[in-house]
Amino acid sequence: MRINKGVEWAVHACALLAPLPPGAGLTLAALAEFHGVPEPYMAKQMQALSKASLVRASRGKTGGYALARPADAISLWEITAAIDGPASAFRCTEIRQNGPCGVKKKDCVRACPIAAAFGRAEQAYREMLREIRLSDVLASVGADSTADHLQAVLSWFEGNVTSLPQQRR
């Protein structure tokens, strides 16, 4: 299964927002810069995350993005669905009805066995992504980083974290 690179970028952006304290955020420019990706494409991912209520966006001079919920309340499936949508990856076109030995439509009383198999596999995939929380991913980030890299990240945060305007109730 191929996962859209927008999903990867969105998960990375959420992971970068997760450790921020309340009232803090990162601008779109900072998110794009940190990951070395084009700002317009990052904007598309952030808009989708905002529409799905996974991040909150603040406009203005001190605007930016922050997670809308704690990292342990956001699953990888929610991020994936926000970017790619909830539609099934496999779409059965009933090819079994084509060709010289095609099955007659009236004889197709059950779902195509191939479509059913892909459906079960995709359901298992989605369930696994529902179980994995953003916080689970973050728990292993430090283990794979050197002390120098972690210091570089902390220094970068110091220069890029912004104070977001207070949320309106």
Per-residue confidence in pLDDT tens, the chain, 169 aa: 678 899 999 999 999 999 999 999 999 999 999 999 999 999 999 999 999 999 999 887 667 999 999 999 999 999 999 999 988 888 888 888 898 988 888 888 888 899 999 999 999 999 999 999 999 999 888 777 888 988 898 889 888 998 888 765 5
pLDDT of residue 167: 65
pLDDT of residue 1: 63
Token pair for residue 25?
């955020």
Q: In sequence order, what are the residues at sequence separation of 6 or more whose Cβ sits closer than 8 angstroms to the Cβ of residue 2?
A: none
pLDDT of residue 123: 95
pLDDT of residue 70: 97
Q: Which CATH number fits domain 5-163: 3.40.50.10150, 1.20.58.1030, 1.10.10.10, 3.40.50.620?
A: 1.10.10.10
Q: In sequence order, what are the residues at sequence separation of 6 or more whose Cβ sits closer than 8 angstroms to the Cβ of residue 22?
A: none
- Backbone torsions φ then ψ of 93, nearest 5 degrees: -105, 10
